[in-house]
Amino acid sequence: MSGDWYIIANAHAGSSKTIGLWEKAQKEIDAHGIGYKIVRTAHKGHARELAREAVALGWRKLLAVGGDGSIHEVLGGVLEGCADTGADPAEFTLGVAPIGSGNDWIKSFGLSDDAFKVIPLMAVKATGGEDVVRVEFGGEGSHSWMANGAGTGFDAHVCERVNRQKEAGLRSKMIYLDALMHTIFHIKAIRVRVTGDGEERFCGECYSIAVGNGKYSGGGMRQVPLAEPDDGLIDVLVVPKAKLSKLVAEVPRLFGGTIYESALALSFRCRELRIEPLDEASRDIVEVDGEIEGRLPVSVSLDGRRLNVLSAKAPSSQSVAQ
């Protein structure tokens, strides 16, 4: 069982067309001689439940059929399963057969958005490493796990608008650009204190804070373009309050991967991040992997563990692949 794949298919990801393509991909998996069991989700949060159960049953390779939300749920389920059983995350390999509308997580591992291209990687055990990142909401006593990125302010409100459009049945990548531009013209500054590894890095009014384990977010934006998922560091971007006209002029940097060079932004790296609101009105929403999961204050930290992920990149010296 541990050598086979437990495949969790999100019945609500992508469109009926992409789900039909995945059914064809199953025949390709059979052709490669890959052993697997496939289960389908019935509701939001079900992928997390299924992944947690799979860990208890002894599965060690899990593939999410979906998008960024799917891998977020599966990762959370695996790590909760590790807490239940005492298993080491290094025993596990995670992957995505992308059929979602926002396939950002896979880009950090050199993967395309073609679900068929992930199948040969499953067969040859092509893996890289990813740091385990924990997100804790101090005001609510809850926690989550970050596969790709998190944020508050502008970053979170873009995700919130994207999610509303998805719930309305829209799946085009243009919804990310729409959410980006809408939020730019409607966002309000929040007053926060930002601490990295115990050192105050920012205190005052800002429009956005983005946190990344992966480079990409929002359908291809690179708010933390220097992020690497296995470098033992969290990348952070703070956008202090500034004139709207100046901020709009910086938008191309988000897609060009040069936002860290902007005089209007603050970028840094750390192992533990803390974001605290300075007043009640600044207890803004927080997104984790595109899902709104809580409000400030929030702590984001590496816990020192790492797991394996399917990757088209050459393995680094830090990979935990077996």
Model confidence over 67-78: pLDDT tens digits?
898 999 999 999
309 domain residue, yes or no: no
pLDDT per residue as tens digits for the range 127-136: 899 999 999 9
Calculate mean pLDDT across residues 38-55: 95
**pLDDT level of residue 222 (50, 70, 90 thresholds):** very high
312 domain residue, yes or no: no
32 plus 59 within the same structural domain: yes
* Among 54-63, 122-131, 226-235, the least confident range: 122-131
Calculate mean pLDDT across residues 294-310: 96
Q: What is the C-alpha separation between 219 and 260, in angstroms, rounded?
A: 19
Mean pLDDT score across all residues of the chain: 89
164 plus 67 within the same structural domain: no
Last-in-domain residue among 125, 148, 170: 125
What is the domain count for the chain?
Answer: 2
3-state SS assignment for residue 190: strand
Residue 287 near residue 154 (C-beta atoms within 8 A): no
What the block records as the tokens of 157 is 């409100």
120 domain residue, yes or no: yes
- Residue range of the domain that includes 292: 135-304
294 domain residue, yes or no: yes
Residue 67 near residue 107 (C-beta atoms within 8 A): no
List the CATH number of the domain containing 98. 3.40.50.10330
Q: What is the C-alpha separation between 255 and 200, in angstroms, rounded?
A: 28
Calculate mean pLDDT across residues 108-119: 88
119 plus 224 within the same structural domain: no
Last-in-domain residue among 74, 99, 125: 125
Supply the pLDDT for residue 124: 84
Given a cut of 50, is residue 44 above it in pLDDT? yes
47 domain residue, yes or no: yes
Supply the pLDDT for residue 322: 34
Last-in-domain residue among 96, 125, 154: 125
148 plus 97 within the same structural domain: no
* Among 22-36, 109-123, 172-186, the least confident range: 172-186
Number of Cβ atoms within 10 Å of the Cβ of 130: 27
Could you please report the per-residue DSSP string of 35-57?
Answer: -EEEEE--STTHHHHHHHHHHHH
Q: What is the C-alpha separation between 152 and 77, in angstroms, rounded?
A: 24
Given a cut of 70, is residue 198 above it in pLDDT? yes
Q: Which residue has the tokens 């079900």?
A: 46
> In the beta sheet, which residues pair with residue 185?
none
Supply the pLDDT for residue 196: 98
318 domain residue, yes or no: no
Could you please report the per-residue DSSP string of 83-135?
Answer: HHH---GGG-EEEEEE-SS---GGGGGT--S-GGGGHHHHHHT-EEEEEEEEE
17 plus 65 within the same structural domain: yes
155 plus 97 within the same structural domain: no
Contacts 24+ apart (CB under 8 A), 175-179: 175/101, 175/219, 176/102, 176/218, 176/219, 176/220, 176/221, 177/219, 179/218
Given a cut of 60, is residue 26 above it in pLDDT? yes
Residue 282 has φ and ψ, to the nearest 5°, of -95, 10
299 domain residue, yes or no: yes
**pLDDT level of residue 182 (50, 70, 90 thresholds):** confident
Supply the pLDDT for residue 114: 85
Residue 110 near residue 215 (C-beta atoms within 8 A): no
Residue 137 has φ and ψ, to the nearest 5°, of -100, 105
Question: Smallest Cα–Cα separation from 64: which of 75, 80, 53?
Answer: 75
Supply the pLDDT for residue 320: 38
79 plus 157 within the same structural domain: no
Q: What is the C-alpha separation between 48 and 120, in angstroms, rounded?
A: 25
Q: What is the C-alpha separation between 145 and 149, in angstroms, rounded?
A: 10
22 plus 170 within the same structural domain: no
Calculate mean pLDDT across residues 285-292: 94
> Which has more confidence, 13 or 159?
159
